[in-house]
Amino acid sequence: MALQRSFGLFILAAPLALHAAPPKISEFTLNNGLKVLVQEDHRAPVAVSQVWYKVGASYEHDGITGVSHMLEHMMFKGTKKHPPGEFSRIISANGGSENAFTGQDYTAYFQTLEQSRLPVSFELEADRMRNLRLLPDEFTKEQQVVLEERRMRTEDEPHAKLDEHFDALAYSNSPYKNPVIGWPDDVSHLTVDDLSAWYRQWYAPNNATLVVVGDVDPENVRKLAQKYFGPLKPSTLPAPKPRGEVEQLGIRRITVKLPAKLPFLTMGYKTPVLKGAAEAWEPYALEVLAGVLDGGSSARLESRLVRGQQIAASIGAGYDLNSRLPALFSVRGTPAQGKSVEDLEKAILAEIRQLQDQPAAADELERVKAQVLASKVYERDSIFYQAMQLGMTETVGLGWKTVGEYVDKINSVTPEQVQKVAKKYLVEDRLSIGHLDPLPIPEGQTAPEDRAPQGGQHVR
């Protein structure tokens, strides 16, 4: 199927007046160092509150991988004031929803509530910021829960397992080589003391950002923050060691053999990110490059490799310019029926070569930019997502203003810049390649239960 590329006239003009007023963001810092960001959004009587800590898996050292995530679980297990489980019960009784997540660069906690309940969330978050009680019995049970989580997310998921082995190969010494959830042996040997030390080291107002987005008044949020978080004592924080990745000196390859039905290919090039970039425009050019490859169904990978050449059944490219340390520009996919991972790999490398040999077409870039601009409007439909962006950029050290600059920076990327970053970074000496090699899954036997299962007796 010939690639058609003649629909430029429908393209969204970049400076189009989008009659959505820009979001109003207030920033202030309490005396104890807690930074507070407030964005007003009055479309619904709701507010989301998120507490972001500058700690995550990439702060961990060998032997205690997974400690940030394990601690996140234990943050629901009680303080002197509130016994285990009460945090969740109080939020629930206030009509709220809550959750938490851990990444390489952050640990974050959030509640979404009807806006008048914001003090409930502040009171509980402030309490567990300094007063967590790590009870050995609760820890023992929760460790089992986390091991179950690991089995569910990684052990029994072929692609996740491939990713884990792949990251461990692609990075030599960057902490991104370790999985967020931790290596199994580390997770099962974490102790209350490990968690306690981690909590004391990182959980402090001067290592956190409080983000509130929703139907709120910034002045009122400031007063509430002062009331609940203001009395907390700051800590002396260690500066994270840089742990810069050593230079890669050639292509790296790994094969992972697992019981699975289909092969899978993952490729990653070491690339700079906004934080620490030598040339500030380069990460934005890489972002646009990711769009040229994978910005929807009209982009090159889907159009050429899934539809045109029919080498891939599914394929995608990914790049995260907001990570704290240099990361990977990745391309991943499943070969189409009758094609091998080697065929797919060759086709992807040919696409990369084309990006290096000639600049992308003007209309391709315009489509990427049109989608970025529209996405900015769509994102505003979610208060949670808006808070995520502010919290994440602040926590990795870029500052929340990066969020507002994004559209302009993307718009200023030229085809030549995309070509330049392709030549400079998408090269063999920065590349790692992983193949999932499926082993047969033994044919399962289905059998009716031969015991009486419904009698209500306990099986011990």
Which among 272-280, 281-289, 306-314, 341-349 is the span making contact with another protein, rule CB under 8 A?
306-314
* 342 vs 428, beta carbon nearer another protein: 342
Q: Does 268 sit near another protein (CB under 8 A)? A: no
Residues 102 and 55 sit within 8 Å (Cβ to Cβ): no
Mode of pairing for the β-strands spanning 431-439 and 252-259? parallel
Q: Does 112 sit near another protein (CB under 8 A)? A: yes
Q: Which one of 62, 80, 233, 454 is in contact with another protein (CB under 8 A)?
A: 454
Q: Which one of 19, 80, 233, 241 is in contact with another protein (CB under 8 A)?
A: 19
Locate all alpha helices (DSSP H) within 235-361, ordered by sequence: 282-294, 300, 341-357
Q: Which amino acid is at 135?
A: L
Q: How far apart are CA 380 and CA 388, in angstroms?
A: 12
Q: Which amino acid is at 92?
A: S
Among residue numbers 324 through 353, which ones bind another protein (CB under 8 A)? 334, 336-337
CB of 30 to another protein, least distance (A): 27
* 232 vs 403, beta carbon nearer another protein: 403
Q: Does 408 sit near another protein (CB under 8 A)? A: no
Q: For residue 25, which phi and psi values (nearest 5 degrees)?
A: -120, 130
Q: Which one of 16, 197, 280, 361 is in contact with another protein (CB under 8 A)?
A: 16
Q: Which one of 3, 251, 350, 361 is in contact with another protein (CB under 8 A)?
A: 3
In order of 76, 79, 105, 305, 396, the CA distances from 56 in angstroms are 17, 22, 5, 37, 10
CB of 109 to another protein, least distance (A): 10
Q: Which amino acid is at 282?
A: E
Mode of pairing for the β-strands spanning 208-214 and 35-40? parallel
* 234 vs 415, beta carbon nearer another protein: 415
* 72 vs 125, beta carbon nearer another protein: 72
Question: Which residues on adjacent β-strands are paired with residue 439?
Answer: 259
CB of 249 to another protein, least distance (A): 26
Per-residue x/- track, 137-176, another protein (CB under 8 A): ---xxxxxxxxxx-xxx-xxxx------------------
Residues 50 and 388 sit within 8 Å (Cβ to Cβ): yes
Q: Does 361 sit near another protein (CB under 8 A)? A: no
Tokens of 409: 């920076």
Among residue numbers 206 through 265, which ones bind another protein (CB under 8 A)? 259-262
The sign one gets for the Cα dihedral 159, 164, 169, 170 is: positive
Q: Which residues are catalytic?
A: 72
